[in-house]
């Protein structure tokens, strides 16, 4: 893939990666459901429901309405969970659950971007307690992830920041301002049409295993379409491609409720226009 990644020493640049079905082969949030069950956080019925949601996600992705239902369900499910216990469960099971489903092609791209002098930023709708350790495992420099409200060490069930649709693009713009990234020279990768604003925000957008609507957009705009299909454990990859340990700076962009609501209205209208053409 070296031919896809150009080397720009100046200005400062970054590569922004969606996580689920772009870097890893499944939904990061749903992958830990069995571990949460074993830790006493959820019951068997919840495990079955999340397994079904994972199947729907893998079979064809999730549209806006499904993502909204999933967000509401998961945030309600997390109400009352001890945050430290969640972090410990994720840390204990991370290598067993996530390492085997990392796409080899994505890991290579991350290495190539680092070699070209770019920061690597994971931008995911999943919760920060899950995304931050995965970002560290991947050697990412920063992460943008959904954050739930925490009171007295437990989740309240309310969402503080939802990293989804236009809010991902807003977070990228804020990072560009604070870190000095020239977005016209930056890269972005995603599988879902919900990330269209993120892809539009950079000069080098790439689609990865795109859903039907995003594939149509990529064809209309002349964007590259990448196919990732080789999940592999990082330690099983060639030693020359092993991930160096890198510090992770967790980033949660502050987005006002009014701005987030406006973004969801924009996305709903945009999605209707896209699917009308499918």
pLDDT in tens, 76-88: 778 888 999 989 9
Q: Pairing relation of β-strands 142-151 and 154-161?
A: antiparallel
- Predicted local distance difference test score (pLDDT) of residue 262: 31
- Predicted local distance difference test score (pLDDT) of residue 48: 54
Active-site residue (options: 18, 104, 141, 195)? 18
Domain 11-276 is found in CATH 3.40.50.1000: yes
Instruction: Please say whether the beta carbons of 20 and 70 come within 8 A.
Output: no
Instruction: Please say whether the beta carbons of 83 and 148 come within 8 A.
Output: no
Q: How confident is the model at residue 40 (pLDDT cuts 50, 70, 90)?
A: confident
Q: How confident is the model at residue 151 (pLDDT cuts 50, 70, 90)?
A: very high
For the chain, which residues make up each domain, given as ranges?
11-276
Sign (positive/negative) of CA torsion 136, 142, 143, 148?
positive
pLDDT in tens, 161-193: 989 899 999 999 999 999 999 999 999 999 999
Residue 20 appears among annotated catalytic residues: yes
Instruction: Please say whether the beta carbons of 216 and 193 come within 8 A.
Output: no
Active-site residue (options: 20, 104, 141, 195)? 20
Q: How far is CA 212 from CA 132, 166, 218, 278, in A?
A: 29, 20, 10, 8
Residue 18 appears among annotated catalytic residues: yes
pTM: 0.78
State how far the Cα of 107 lies from the Cα of 20, in Å rounded to an integer.
14
- Predicted local distance difference test score (pLDDT) of residue 37: 76
pLDDT in tens, 211-250: 999 999 999 999 999 999 999 887 776 444 444 445 444 4
Q: How confident is the model at residue 116 (pLDDT cuts 50, 70, 90)?
A: very high
């Amino acid at each position: 893939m070296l031919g896809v990644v150009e080397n720009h020493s100046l200005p400062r640049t970054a590569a922004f990666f969606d996580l689920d079905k772009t870097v890893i082969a499944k939904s990061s949030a749903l992958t830990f459901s069995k571990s949460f069950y074993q830790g006493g956080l959820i019951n068997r019925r919840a495990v079955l429901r999340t397994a079904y949601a994972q199947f729907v996600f893998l079979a064809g992705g999730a549209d806006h309405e499904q993502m909204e239902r999933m967000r509401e369900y998961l945030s309600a499910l997390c109400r009352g969970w001890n945050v430290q216990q969640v972090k410990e469960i994720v840390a204990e099971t991370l290598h067993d659950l996530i390492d085997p489903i990392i796409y080899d092609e994505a890991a290579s791209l991350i290495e190539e971007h680092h070699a070209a002098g770019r920061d690597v930023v994971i931008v995911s709708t999943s919760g920060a307690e899950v995304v931050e350790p995965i970002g560290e495992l991947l050697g990412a420099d920063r992460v943008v992830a959904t954050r739930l409200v925490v009171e007295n060490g437990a989740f309240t069930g309310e969402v503080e920041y939802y990293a989804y649709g236009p809010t991902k693009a807003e977070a990228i713009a804020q990072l560009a301002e604070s870190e000095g990234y020239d977005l016209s020279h930056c890269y972005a990768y995603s599988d879902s049409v919900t990330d269209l604003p993120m892809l539009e925000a950079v000069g080098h957008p790439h689609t990865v295993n795109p859903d039907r609507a995003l594939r149509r957009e990529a064809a209309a705009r002349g964007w590259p379409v990448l196919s990732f299909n080789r999940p592999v454990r990082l330690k099983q990859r060639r030693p020359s491609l092993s991930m160096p340990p890198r510090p992770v700076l967790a980033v949660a962009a502050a987005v006002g409720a009014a701005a987030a609501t406006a973004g969801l209205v924009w996305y709903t209208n945009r999605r209707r226009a896209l699917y009308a053409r499918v």
